Amino acid sequence: MNKQPRTAVILCTCSGIISEKIDWDAVQAQLAEHPDKPVVTTDELACGAENLEKLAAWLKEHQPERVVVAACSPREHERTFRGLLASAGINPYYLQMINVREQVAWVTADPGEATRKAARLIGAALKRVRHHQPLVERHVPVRTDVAVIGAGPAGIQAALTLARAGRRVTLIEKEPFFGGMPVRFEELFPNLECGPCLLEPGMGELLHGPESEHIELLTLTEVTEVKGSFGNWQLSLRQQPRYVNPELCIGCMVCAAVCPERRENPWNCGGELAAVDGPFVGALPNLPHVDAARCLKLNGQECGACLAECPVEGALDFGDTIRDSVVEAGAIIVATGAEELPVAPPAFAGKDNVFSAYSFERLLAMTGPSGGELVKGDGAAPASLAIVQCAGSFDDAVTYCSGTCCQAALKYAHIAAAKQEGLTVTRLVREQVVAGVNAARLFSHDHSQVVRYGGLGDLTVAETDRGRVIVCGSNGAEVPADMIVLCGPTVPGQGTTQTARLLELGVDDAGFIAPIHALSGSFLSPLKGVYLAGTCRGPGDIREAFASGTAAAGVALSELVEGRDLTVDPQVAVVAAEQCAGCKSCIRVCPYKAISWDDATKTADISDILCRGCGTCVAVCPAGAITAQGFSRAMLRAEIEGVLS
């Protein structure tokens, strides 16, 4: 670069906050000797509306090609000063801003030192700004509808919040019903409220309320592929056939009553379903579905009992097929949930009347396999119940506490004791976590025996003349245990693992989807336009599910505004295709999944919408093919040389 571009320097006093440390007159005097001969002005409060007008006039008068502003943090006012340049007819990216308030005036005790440091930073900015290129912001239209994956409490809450704001929502659920886990829990801790009663108003609203016209609920559906980026996602969906026409079926379940074929009920942990049946009493939508693997007719045998008895012609539809479709959405909310890790320690394997927390939950429910009766496998009432907490937690496989199992155990103890007078209830605990006012109340009303144990390996099961007991090896305690509940840890649900893989989202050590920041950004994934709700982010209770569903929907609403285009920051990384060596290193390291492989050109391709300009790919590219616009090597080198010279 032979001829140096004309440069203007604006020095802000910040109403004395900066100038009480930095002597701007001295700096001005130094700049008068600078070889670039910049034009310089000092302003009292450069960000003020009136002063900006005056500065715009001053810039128009001097017509500089580059501008350096020495003021406060770019985070606070870089957009303001870019606007100033634009209003003076100068490309906004010809600006270089230096933070002499936070990084000089506030942290340098000696005014002489502060003045020298400020002058040096301005000198470096003058060297850097020569290399700035004119950049142009791109505006792209965004879709404002949202796809929600998972129709548990978090997904339902997100869908309703969006629909109330008039957004179109596609709510995708892999099961034949919606409501997630809690819709199958008769009482929820800490207040022992009825799970279905708590969820049904929202579920009813979603199916039949005014919001229902904005929500398309797709059950038996999974996402098979996701393409696109913020504002313009395309989700490929595969919906399994229900063999029932939801428009015609009246949900009378006559078909289930006459169906001759039986199968295990996977949702009830006991009991049977007909080949055509509803999953459990109260499941919504109130529709049966046909298990194609068990239906005699679908397997070429003579049947049709359901067809013969169904009171509505066409309600059963054996011509139903798999439906593949593509849904377009501006944002995606992942609410795919968690599940209980099944634990089967050798000491308990093959023993009767040993339950997981979930199967015990269903046993206690009126809609469960025993109609809510607390009975053993032989139909007799138990004399004792042993609830083993932390079963499988704090071990090699699951090192963490799920934070909810203690409350679940207290709930089981309470409900079981209420169902059967005289029942001996013992909780075997390693740690007890009952945080929060309501949880503490549940704890204070607990009348069960408490025995400490040291891990599943510490426990054995023995038959004695007093009946079955669990023996704790570490302390010799013998716990009466006609019925045993092993409360396993909460782990990511299958849908969570699958969705993380599809969207290429990172997971934490436990396999839950890792948010962009665990504290300040727990609803945001690193992918712009993909938000997180519920237990896909880690173990949590229903309160947290409702709250996070609302929060994720709120973020989607604030980012996808009707009529507002997406402004794409041009300060992103770009690949010089002719230099790309095709090693794909950049694709592997980009934390924001902004880089894809272009099969046609055999080069890496960076989406300017997804790129956040972090520079990781620039550093890793062995071919030097990637440049961070606004942070090129030439700019950084010039700035460093300027500071050191």
Rg from Cα positions in the chain: 32
- The residue from 67, 255, 416, 530 that contacts ligand SF4 (CB under 6 A) is 255
Question: Minimum distance between the CB of residue 184 and ligand SF4, rounded to whole angstroms?
Answer: 21
Nearer CB in complex with ligand SF4: 296/451? 296
Tell me the window of 109-117, 249-257, 531-539, 629-637 that interacts with ligand SF4 (CB under 6 A).
Answer: 249-257
- The residue from 47, 254, 387, 557 that contacts ligand SF4 (CB under 6 A) is 254
106: tokens are: 């506030």
Nearer CB in complex with ligand SF4: 314/342? 314
Site track 194-233 with ligand SF4 (rule: CB under 6 A), x = hit: ----------------------------------------
Question: Minimum distance between the CB of residue 57 and ligand SF4, rounded to whole angstroms?
Answer: 45
Tell me the window of 63-71, 146-154, 531-539, 618-626 that interacts with ligand SF4 (CB under 6 A).
Answer: 618-626
User: 556 to 615, contacts with ligand SF4 by CB under 6 A?
Assistant: 575, 580-586, 603-604
Nearer CB in complex with ligand SF4: 462/581? 581
Nearer CB in complex with ligand SF4: 17/303? 303
- The residue from 203, 621, 628, 635 that contacts ligand SF4 (CB under 6 A) is 621
User: What's the CA angle centered on 572, arms 568 and 574, to 5 degrees?
Assistant: 120
Contact by Cβ (8 Å): 434, 407? yes
Contact by Cβ (8 Å): 384, 481? yes
Q: Which residues contact 546 (CB under 8 A, 6 or more apart)?
A: 153, 154, 157
Query: Measured between alpha carbons, how far is 453 from 460 in angstroms, rounded to an integer?
Result: 11
Question: Minimum distance between the CB of residue 286 and ligand SF4, rounded to whole angstroms?
Answer: 8
Question: Minimum distance between the CB of residue 638 and ligand SF4, rounded to whole angstroms?
Answer: 24
Listed in sequence order, the DSSP H helices in 566-645 are 585-589, 616-620, 633-644
Nearer CB in complex with ligand SF4: 431/597? 597
Full DSSP string of 30-63: HHHT-TT--EEEEES-TTSHHHHHHHHHHHHHH-
- The residue from 29, 57, 312, 440 that contacts ligand SF4 (CB under 6 A) is 312
Phi, psi dihedral angles at 577 (to 5 degrees): -55, -40
Question: Minimum distance between the CB of residue 313 and ligand SF4, rounded to whole angstroms?
Answer: 9
Cα 537 to chain centroid, rounded: 6
- The residue from 183, 253, 439, 638 that contacts ligand SF4 (CB under 6 A) is 253
Helix (H) or strand (E) segment spanning residue 226: strand 221-229
Site track 262-301 with ligand SF4 (rule: CB under 6 A), x = hit: --------------------------x-------------
User: What's the CA angle centered on 526, arms 627 and 93, to 5 degrees?
Assistant: 35
Question: Minimum distance between the CB of residue 141 and ligand SF4, rounded to whole angstroms?
Answer: 29
- The residue from 9, 249, 363, 610 that contacts ligand SF4 (CB under 6 A) is 249
Question: Minimum distance between the CB of residue 626 and ligand SF4, rounded to whole angstroms?
Answer: 5
What 8-state DSSP symbol labels residue 563? Answer: T
For residue 453, give the nearest of 433, 427, 486, 434 by alpha carbon: 427
- The residue from 220, 363, 626, 628 that contacts ligand SF4 (CB under 6 A) is 626
Nearer CB in complex with ligand SF4: 245/498? 245
Nearer CB in complex with ligand SF4: 490/616? 616
Count of residues touching ligand SF4 (by CB under 6 A): 27
Question: Minimum distance between the CB of residue 314 and ligand SF4, rounded to whole angstroms?
Answer: 9
Instruction: Name the amino acid, one letter, at 144.
Output: T
- Cβ contacts of 610-615, under 8 Å, gap ≥ 24: 610/229, 610/230, 610/527, 610/528, 611/572, 611/573, 612/528, 612/572, 613/569, 613/571, 613/572, 613/573, 615/573
Nearer CB in complex with ligand SF4: 121/586? 586
Question: Minimum distance between the CB of residue 597 and ligand SF4, rounded to whole angstroms?
Answer: 8
The verdict on 316 binding ligand SF4 (CB under 6 A) reads yes
CA distances from 423 to 148, 385, 448, 468 (A): 44, 7, 10, 14
Nearer CB in complex with ligand SF4: 312/397? 312
Full DSSP string of 375-436: --TTSPPPSEEEEETTTTTTSSS--S--SSHHHHHHHHHHHHHHHSTT-EEEEEES-----S
Question: Minimum distance between the CB of residue 131 and ligand SF4, rounded to whole angstroms?
Answer: 22
Phi, psi dihedral angles at 543 (to 5 degrees): -60, -45
What 8-state DSSP symbol labels residue 113? Answer: H
Name the one residue in this structure whose structure tokens are 């001053």: 58
Q: What share of the chain is helix, strand, coil (3-state, %, to 5)?
A: 30, 25, 45
Nearer CB in complex with ligand SF4: 306/487? 306
Contact by Cβ (8 Å): 507, 492? yes
Question: Minimum distance between the CB of residue 258 and ligand SF4, rounded to whole angstroms?
Answer: 8
Nearer CB in complex with ligand SF4: 246/403? 246
Query: Which stretches of the chain bind ligand SF4, using CB under 6 A?
Result: 244, 249-255, 288, 310, 312, 315-316, 575, 580-586, 603-604, 621, 623, 625-626
